[in-house]
Amino acid sequence: MERSVRSGPSDPNTRALINALRKTSMKHDVRIWKRVAEMIAQPARHRPAVNIGKIERHTSAGDIVVVPGKILGSGIITHKVTVAALNASSTARSAIIEAGGSVMSIDELLTQAPKGRGVMIIV
Q: CA-CA distance, 37 to 83, in Å (whole number)? A: 17
Domain for residue 85, yes or no?
A: yes
pLDDT digits (tens, 9 = 90+) for 4-43: 777 788 889 999 999 999 999 999 999 999 999 999 999 9
Domain for residue 112, yes or no?
A: yes
Q: CA-CA distance, 77 to 102, in Å (whole number)? A: 12
Shortest CA distance to 104 belongs to which of 118, 79, 86, 90? Answer: 86
Domain for residue 18, yes or no?
A: yes
Domain for residue 51, yes or no?
A: yes
pLDDT digits (tens, 9 = 90+) for 82-93: 999 999 999 999
Q: Which domain holds residue 59?
A: 12-121
Domain for residue 6, yes or no?
A: no
Q: What is the CATH number of the domain that holds 44?
A: 3.100.10.10
Domain for residue 7, yes or no?
A: no
pTM over 0.95: no
* pLDDT (mean) for 98-111: 96
Domain for residue 2, yes or no?
A: no
pLDDT number for residue 1: 64
Q: How many domains does the chain have?
A: 1
Whether the per-residue pLDDT at 67 is higher than 70: the answer is yes
Domain for residue 4, yes or no?
A: no
Whether the per-residue pLDDT at 118 is higher than 80: the answer is yes
